[in-house]
Amino acid sequence: MTVAEPSQGGGAPLGGKEPHDHRTDSVAPGRVACAESTVAPLRVRVQRRPVHGVLLLDKPLGWSSNDALQKAKWLLRAEKAGHTGTLDPLATGVLPLCFGAATKFSQLHLDADKAYETTVRLGSKTLTGDAEGQVVATNPVTCSLGEVVEVLDRFMGPIQQVPPMHSALKRDGVALYEFARRGETVDRPARDVVIHELELLDVQLTGPEPFLRLRVTCSKGTYIRTLGEDIAEALGCGGHLVALRRIATGDFFEHQCVGLAQLEAMSESERLACLRPVDALLAGHERVTLDGDNSGRFLSGLRRRVDLPDHPRVAVFGSAPQALLGVAHITARELIPDRLLSPIDIQQILENRPHASA
């Protein structure tokens, strides 16, 4: 655990989880201004088109991940879209959106480590563990800075977490938040996660609103809301999250992201230029390039002989033209296809080059 000087700027609220793939048609946001109170949303149908790539979105506060996805999909007029894991409406920050062929590989990004900045309000516990919930207990904050540092050290490395009741995790096919809305609590097995880094950015232990501001780098599946509650409980006062911002996921960082308002103000060509290539999702994959004949056979799902050692994750490219063909693994000198792009996808990607790469 490291202690940093207090920094400026920072957070905005909560959470982050599970993958989704959304392929619904059209329709744009907005409402008609009218004196009537029952006016339905204005639905503007757009002409969809094939769009392939990854958009790094800075999800705004108050938007669900799906709402943000659908807005970006509408702005790009994309036929097919999904994302690599959700952020709660009360969270902001890095949300990679996948379009077209990139949706084939969105699951591969779920294992990536995540980084967050969060603010924990001390001395006040809520029903949901965040600022949206009803306050259920208040306690004086009597801990010292030294005790804060000691407690943070205890949360470094492998830990176990009990998922919060107000989460999308399912029990017997029912989301936990559905039980919570009915006032029910069900048993949830603890889950193993890893806290790689836990940095104290700012702290205030006195006054009307004591808080900790933290930077957390963690493994997939970590509930930052639960982490904040557990740290506050260990300090003897309880607490809840009032801000959460995802600053990184895998090799994607907040400074690379574009906001929805920025995207909306752009021309169509500028929006398309924000897309990263599909293989941006394949960091950590071994790169293998095949010649023309082997490329065609590989795209047909056939194994290819290669003079290479075993490797569990391989990104396979064709050489003429240079294009991503799919992902595979190597076992006993055989390149075995796992997930392939279609020839139509590849043709469309080639026709719409170049992609921006910030």
Six token digits for residue 41: 């949303």
Q: Are 335 and 316 in contact (CB under 8 A)?
A: yes
Which secondary structure element, helix H or strand E, spans residue 230, and what is its range?
Answer: helix 224-234
Query: Rounded to whole angstroms, how far apart are CA atoms 290 and 322?
Result: 10
For the chain, how are helix, strand and coil distributed in percent, rounded to 5? 25, 35, 40
DSSP string, 207-220: SSS-EEEEEEEE-T
User: Does residue 58 have an active-site annotation?
Assistant: no
Which SS3 state, helix, strand or coil, does residue 29 take? coil
What does each C-alpha distance from 152 to 200, 212, 214, 235, 248 come to in angstroms?
A: 8, 11, 10, 10, 21
The residue behind tokens 């949300």 is 95
Exactly one of 21, 25, 58, 88 is catalytic; name it.
88
Which SS3 state, helix, strand or coil, does residue 105 take? helix
Q: What residues act catalytically? A: 88
